[in-house]
Structure 1
């Protein structure tokens, strides 16, 4: 891939223009030799020949990653047990990682192998600075602990591809670039950066295709994985962490992904990946291997030397096998050429336990001491080149709050353009409006009970419909929020406000059309000012209802629980809304004051009628509207107070939603 006309720009807000210029000036084409594992090459002054006619962008900084005696434990649920006839209970802990050590140098790929549940993903998450809880040991990056500077130079590709389904490949990468690349770069430079990543990862053919999701077909699994890698490559990371990058892919696609990763490592990056069961072709692409068995390391070293090591300690095979298959058998406690590999029972479990203990003992005897010596000998004296001068800037955001808000607003509108105005939702709302208009067709003024019922229908339908739509918002976006927030892409406040503002035109268009149809068909007061006020009240109720739905979703973060709570709440609000029960017992009367449907209903009555209006209650006899039982029970006074109470609900529910999100995403 030809280099762009301008030098590749690092995606860090704490990188100076002088550093970029220095890197660009020294990028000359020459053969790549592996960077020394000494952490003192702050700038790799050479691009890498990646293919016949392509150059890989080199990383601006190199990182030497060391992890020493990493131990991670989690607390299990307390369970009561009976000892000697007495009950005792206490916290139990499970060890997920037990003394794992290693070092990865720039230009190397470290593969973490092991069966499911061996702790591979936990270790990778710890190396990415994303693991909370009881973690002990020492993890350093060029001799320093995890920091904001390291975080911005770390790319983390999760096992599951968390992408917006309705965005195209180009849109996905472009919005990521706008959020993660510093605002010191011009838009044209960011576009060139996106183009170079698309070309480098072989995504040109599908660049205008949508990502796709469960309900419609998009790009393939391998292409999604490359898009996920491309999102991280946009920041030109020094450290690239990948969790099961070949999971669910065929062998050819898996090799293409690993070839790309190998090429990226050749650019001076430090690469760590977990992988479940690689083919022999993939295995030989790795420089180093860590083999885990139930959280304990049983091998660390060169991938090519693994078979020789296990042969030296008595675990050899008489046949030619994929090295990864042999390693995984050993990690499961199955010796090579074992005749009992497929059996079950106590004897088999004892044999597996014996094999594991033997392997752990051999590791402690043969590898542990050598590894400690290797960790001590790694020279990271000049780590100051990595962070010098940036200590005070590392916690700053690469872009301003306003820039993040604008990009997130654009992305949200583009992603939800199909969801908010799909034909089913439009048909649902319009059909209800037309059917309601026909049922209340030109209701005479004397039929005040029917008119009041229509106004209550307004408040009920647009008090509950937005609520049920809103409870899905944050639970469905939780994985995306966790991914992007952990990468430091944007502030939570900019996302929350962008989501709130972006929903306005999409959520208010349908209720506007609904009111336009049913208001005039129902024969309500034909006054333009009254119509506009009625429309504004309905839209006001929509916003309050949506706010409550967002709060439910953010607090529970579970769709089933949130919809259950929403159904109970709407039922209570419906009953206490002032229409069905006009004389609520005093001890429970306070419920109606919690119902926004009650205030919406009262405000709609207030703009349609006044207490002194009259209607024909019987033939030839006029009665005051204020004396009608349904109106008298609600009252038409203090309408501005009701407006203020709904405003308090609107703001309060959204603040609760924001606080709940902040707690979940801490």
Structure 2
């Protein structure tokens, strides 16, 4: 049925006039996307923003939601209280159920002040009420899913996203094309929900059907190139515009079609833009950006992150499968050194330690895709002041730690046993600790890149470069003493520098690490001396006089790492890895804070 709520002289709604938005479309090139937009809607009204493609509907909505800065002279009066924004793409965690999604939204979005929701029981009851109102009770325990993960239907997912924004009854809801991608029945159901919401609603709509249009209380029609063709009640919009343009409304034509046809025609468009009267409704003064309460959201964030991670079987199975496969591979390649103390065994075990470390470091890139996917959910909720960046980051880090640690220990244990590394509880425990720390440092480095990169493609390109640079400055391929002075500091940021040193010392730096030296080993060393320029006739004498190439573990460690690194304690190597872990996590946190702070700075700059 048509919406009938009056919007005239209602002081609890939304009004805007002379709104203009200019964006930088390319480097040094700016374009005014929205010009002289105006309109109003009363308390609990439903305002639809219509217009052809490119007219600036989404840009105007983003400006009203403080997602985009307005030009000087723009005037917007918002109702007092919170304002939520429903983006066009559903930003939901796929492995949570519909019921859990709404309950977590209620927990995270309570400001700690509103007495209506001051207990967990009240918030849970409100979430259940919204679940029933949205017609989602039957799928309440079904996972939300996504485009790649099976879950509820598209319409049900869209209603879930709407429920997240409405769960604690905001004063204002701005929805970007909420009916996009839905069939006519689902679109009508969603429009009715928006009309009946306990909030003032503004929605950009592309081509609403006749029944959907009947749910609107007010309409703003934007003209291509700027200007407002119509701003007023929805029920008289088509007749008013047709009368101004002196045209007849064709039979069986919806009001939306009439409005869009008139604004598409240059002749009628100019008439409508020139005769469209400025909005006269005024509402309460524009409120400052809502401030985040001091109430910590760490506990619900931790629970939510843990559930979402634990219910991702494909990612867990892939991580376990990768670890088992690589452990079997390294075991097959280096198992010949098991139980032996020959010169070849020394070389094989050193190669195995290097392979184990590199495999764990580069396997951290698997978490990049998951982080990028979840980043959009975080950014959307953070802009709504749902929680602090620090609470989110700490919760996510702790929720992922058990799975990451378990997978790292699985690989370390299997590879250690299959290669036949030193049979010592101390060496095995230290090996696992160093490898787990190196894995977490690599994970932190990847998250830092993911937090700072503009999109997933950029992050995927940058991550291998960053890890390869860390590998290059680890001292395995180039002498650290020969580095140019301006590059030398980079060695102290290399996880491989400390990780490989720790693993090597744990395996070889022991008093009982003494190695056999056969005549073949001495012949090989003598041949290297001959190849370096010594007379060939000295080969036999060299074989008898030359010492064993690697007589003991201490000599081997010094030869591979150098005297300085060899003299550094294993505890210092582990401590350096821990320091890098903390440093990269802090940098990732700062990168996330900068991303969300930019929106706040824009909003404050607009007010100034």
What TM-score range do you get, normalising by the shorter chain?
0.7 to 0.9
- The 1:330–1:485 alpha-carbon spacing in structure 2 relative to 1, beyond 3 Å, is same
Supply the distance in 2 between the matched residues of 1:653 and 1:629 (Cα, whole angstroms): 28
Instruction: Give 1:494 deviation, angstroms.
Output: 0.5
Supply the distance in 2 between the matched residues of 1:214 and 1:631 (Cα, whole angstroms): 54
Instruction: Give 1:485 deviation, angstroms.
Output: 0.9
Contact 2:4/2:217 (CA < 8 Å) preserved in 1? no
SS at match of 1:440: helix
Out of 392, 395, 398, the position equivalent to 2:291 is 395
What are the Cα deviations for residues 197-226 of structure 1, in whole angstroms up to 9, with x where unaligned? 111110011111111123232111111111
Out of 315, 325, 333, the position equivalent to 2:257 is 325
Q: Which moved more, 1:93-102 or 1:636-645?
A: 636-645
SS at match of 1:212: coil
Supply the distance in 1 between the matched residues of 2:557 and 2:255 (Cα, whole angstroms): 84
1:103 equivalent in alignment to 2:16: no
Supply the distance in 2 between the matched residues of 1:525 and 1:164 (Cα, whole angstroms): 44
Equivalent residue number for residue 407 of structure 1 = 300
Q: Which moved more, 1:293-302 or 1:538-547?
A: 293-302
What are the Cα deviations for residues 311-352 of structure 1, in whole angstroms up to 9, with x where unaligned? 32223344431111111112222xxxxxxxxxxxxxxxxxx3
Equivalent residue number for residue 488 of structure 1 = 385
Contact 1:74/1:133 (CA < 8 Å) preserved in 2? no
1:129 equivalent in alignment to 2:51: no
Equivalent residue number for residue 444 of structure 1 = 340
Equivalent residue number for residue 157 of structure 1 = 86
1:217 equivalent in alignment to 2:155: no
Equivalent residue number for residue 426 of structure 1 = 320
Out of 509, 518, 540, the position equivalent to 2:437 is 540
How big is the alpha-carbon RMSD for the aligned residues of Structure 1 and Structure 2? 2.8
Supply the distance in 2 between the matched residues of 1:219 and 1:394 (Cα, whole angstroms): 33
Contact 1:114/1:293 (CA < 8 Å) preserved in 2? yes
- The 1:579–1:470 alpha-carbon spacing in structure 2 relative to 1, beyond 3 Å, is same
Equivalent residue number for residue 19 of structure 2 = 70
What is the 5 A alignment of 1:567-578?
Answer: 567-578=464-475
Equivalent residue number for residue 284 of structure 1 = 214
1:628 equivalent in alignment to 2:575: no
Equivalent residue number for residue 541 of structure 2 = none
Equivalent residue number for residue 496 of structure 2 = 597
Instruction: Give 1:579 deviation, angstroms.
Output: 3.8
SS at match of 1:616: coil
Gap regions ≥5 residues in structure 2: 520-547, 598-608
- The 1:636–1:190 alpha-carbon spacing in structure 2 relative to 1, beyond 3 Å, is same
1:647 equivalent in alignment to 2:578: yes
Equivalent residue number for residue 606 of structure 2 = none
What are the Cα deviations for residues 496-521 of structure 1, in whole angstroms up to 9, with x where unaligned? 11111111101111110111112122
Q: Which moved more, 1:610-619 or 1:320-329?
A: 610-619
Instruction: Give 1:613 deviation, angstroms.
Output: 4.9
Contact 1:473/1:553 (CA < 8 Å) preserved in 2? no
Equivalent residue number for residue 342 of structure 1 = none
Supply the distance in 2 between the matched residues of 1:656 and 1:206 (Cα, whole angstroms): 40
Supply the distance in 2 between the matched residues of 1:200 and 1:105 (Cα, whole angstroms): 23
Contact 1:100/1:297 (CA < 8 Å) preserved in 2? yes
Supply the distance in 2 between the matched residues of 1:318 and 1:521 (Cα, whole angstroms): 81
Q: Which moved more, 1:237-246 or 1:354-363?
A: 354-363
- The 1:526–1:271 alpha-carbon spacing in structure 2 relative to 1, beyond 3 Å, is same
1:416 equivalent in alignment to 2:345: no
SS at match of 2:431: helix
Instruction: Give 1:112 deviation, angstroms.
Output: 1.0
Supply the distance in 1 between the matched residues of 2:410 and 2:230 (Cα, whole angstroms): 67
- The 1:592–1:141 alpha-carbon spacing in structure 2 relative to 1, beyond 3 Å, is closer
1:519 equivalent in alignment to 2:416: yes
Equivalent residue number for residue 53 of structure 1 = none
Give the structure with the larger helix fraction: 2
Contact 2:515/2:551 (CA < 8 Å) preserved in 1? yes
What are the Cα deviations for residues 165-194 of structure 1, in whole angstroms up to 9, with x where unaligned? 111101111111111125562222222111
Between the two structures, name the one with larger relative contact order (CA 8 Å, sep ≥ 6): 2
SS at match of 1:623: coil
Gap regions ≥5 residues in structure 1: 1-31, 41-62, 79-90, 143-148, 334-351
TM-score by length of 2: 0.84
Contact 2:40/2:231 (CA < 8 Å) preserved in 1? no
Instruction: Give 1:243 deviation, angstroms.
Output: 1.6
Supply the distance in 2 between the matched residues of 1:575 and 1:483 (Cα, whole angstroms): 38
Instruction: Give 1:583 deviation, angstroms.
Output: 8.0
Supply the distance in 1 between the matched residues of 2:340 and 2:72 (Cα, whole angstroms): 73
Equivalent residue number for residue 337 of structure 1 = none
- The 1:520–1:190 alpha-carbon spacing in structure 2 relative to 1, beyond 3 Å, is same
What are the Cα deviations for residues 27-47 of structure 1, in whole angstroms up to 9, with x where unaligned? xxxxx995785556xxxxxxx
Supply the distance in 1 between the matched residues of 2:40 and 2:25 (Cα, whole angstroms): 31
- The 1:603–1:253 alpha-carbon spacing in structure 2 relative to 1, beyond 3 Å, is same
- The 1:629–1:274 alpha-carbon spacing in structure 2 relative to 1, beyond 3 Å, is closer
Instruction: Give 1:408 deviation, angstroms.
Output: 0.8
1:663 equivalent in alignment to 2:560: no
Equivalent residue number for residue 601 of structure 2 = none
Aligned length: 550
1:357 equivalent in alignment to 2:285: no
1:199 equivalent in alignment to 2:121: no
Contact 1:582/1:630 (CA < 8 Å) preserved in 2? no
Supply the distance in 2 between the matched residues of 1:255 and 1:191 (Cα, whole angstroms): 28
- The 1:107–1:576 alpha-carbon spacing in structure 2 relative to 1, beyond 3 Å, is closer
- The 1:394–1:321 alpha-carbon spacing in structure 2 relative to 1, beyond 3 Å, is closer
Equivalent residue number for residue 45 of structure 1 = none
Equivalent residue number for residue 146 of structure 1 = none
Equivalent residue number for residue 259 of structure 1 = 192
Instruction: Give 1:292 deviation, angstroms.
Output: 0.6
- The 1:450–1:157 alpha-carbon spacing in structure 2 relative to 1, beyond 3 Å, is same
Instruction: Give 1:67 deviation, angstroms.
Output: 0.9
What are the Cα deviations for residues 250-289 of structure 1, in whole angstroms up to 9, with x where unaligned? 111111111222222xx4x322211111111111221211
- The 1:423–1:308 alpha-carbon spacing in structure 2 relative to 1, beyond 3 Å, is same
SS at match of 1:471: helix
Contact 1:512/1:539 (CA < 8 Å) preserved in 2? yes
What are the Cα deviations for residues 352-405 of structure 1, in whole angstroms up to 9, with x where unaligned? 3x4432332232xxx33xx3xx33xx5x5xx59x99xxx9x95241x622xx11
TM-score by length of 1: 0.77
Equivalent residue number for residue 117 of structure 1 = 54
Instruction: Give 1:614 deviation, angstroms.
Output: 4.4
